[in-house]
Structure 1
Amino acid sequence: MLYTNGLLEGHDRTTGTGLGLLRRTLTAEPDLDPDATCGSLFQTVLPPHPSDDVALLVARTRLLDPENVAEWDVPFDPAAVAPLRAACAQRLRAWGLEDAVCTAKLIISELITNALRYGAPPLHIRLLRDRGLVFEVSDGSSTAPHMRRAATTDEGGRGLFLVAQFAQRWGTRYTPHGKVLWAETPLDGR
């Protein structure tokens, strides 16, 4: 939950008082969905005449069932790409996602190769099966990846461009020990 102090403070009310009211409201109804939580907080915590602007964002996270997650540690060695690509393809087939294998192998190869070329150990890959198929490759470097268009005579430089072409979405998430480069495709591999 994120909020501005305008939710808590008001005429004749301190931040501490508003925070106490916020805690009691959340404790009284802990299982509300995000919309209902917002409604409840606006009814009980929002001062009648706010003295400042108010912003409130409530989100609920959820865990994937462990059978929908596959992960491997990746040796920091280019020879590791082919066996990991095969292991990921095998897992996709086990999940019944045969149509996604071709696209997945390309994305996995490019993400791992990018991490080997520009990242640092340790490397790790995760596949997540949810509403879509998410590929995550983490490494120990915080160097920002960037997509570029390779010239026809260039030997490399097309990896992230290919990922962007085949994925619905892709991006980078930074961690305390490096970064995660991720891509998402539909479950059918289109």
Structure 2
Amino acid sequence: MIILSALFERDDPAAPLRHRVQTVLSVGSGAAVGAEWIGDVLIAVSELVQNVGQHTGGGGELTLSATADGLLIEVADSMIAAPRLRQPDHRQVGGRGLLLIDSISLGWGTRHHEHGKTVWALMPAPALVGSGH
């Protein structure tokens, strides 16, 4: 079930989009959702959206969907090249986003389609967060 779909442009500030996500998750999920879980979701959203602006030169579409396994975050863009995990270079500021997503999500990946690609991350359901994940 889709709970949020939002288009964004390369130069759009991230704060309004993050605020929309936080509001949807806080209001739609009720008191069962903790601030730590929402924080992890916001980190994943920020990293995936920022990657579009940094590496594609264009905008994209963010979609959040509730699944049986958790919250699916998808960011579609028009580029074909898939992101890849890389070892961080201590001399560079960036380059750690996918490592971070890999550590806080149940999994992530890329799906290609005729108009580009979608990078996704599956966040654990709030009930699973306290169970040792």
TM range (shorter): 0.7 to 0.9
- Judging by fraction of residues, say which structure has more strand: 2
Match of 2:47 among 92, 110, 118: 110
**Alpha-carbon shift at residue 120 of structure 1 (Å):** 4.2
**Residue number in structure 2 paired with 1:40:** none
SS where residue 7 of structure 2 aligns?
A: strand
Amino acid paired to 2:54: R
Indicate the percent of aligned positions where both proteins have the same amino acid.
28
**Residue number in structure 1 paired with 2:24:** 91
Amino acid paired to 2:8: V
Amino acid paired to 2:72: V
- Structure having greater relative contact order (Cα 8 Å, sep ≥ 6): 2
**Runs (5+) with no aligned partner, structure 2:** none
**Residue number in structure 2 paired with 1:125:** 62
RMSD of the alignment, in Å?
1.6
Deviation digits for residues 92-142 of structure 1, max 9, x if unmatched? 112216322110110000000111111243400000012210100111100
Match of 1:147 among 42, 64, 85: 85
With structure 1 as the length reference, what TM-score do the two structures score? 0.61
TM-aligned CA distance change 1:91 to 1:108, over 3 Å: same
Deviation digits for residues 60-115 of structure 1, max 9, x if unmatched? xxxx3xxx4210001221x4212111111111112216322110110000000111
Q: Does 1:180 align with 2:118?
A: yes
**Runs (5+) with no aligned partner, structure 1:** 1-63
**Residue number in structure 2 paired with 1:74:** 8
Q: Distance in 2 between matches of 1:87 and 1:162?
A: 22
Runs of 4 or more above 3 Å deviation: none
Q: Distance in 2 between matches of 1:119 and 1:167?
A: 23
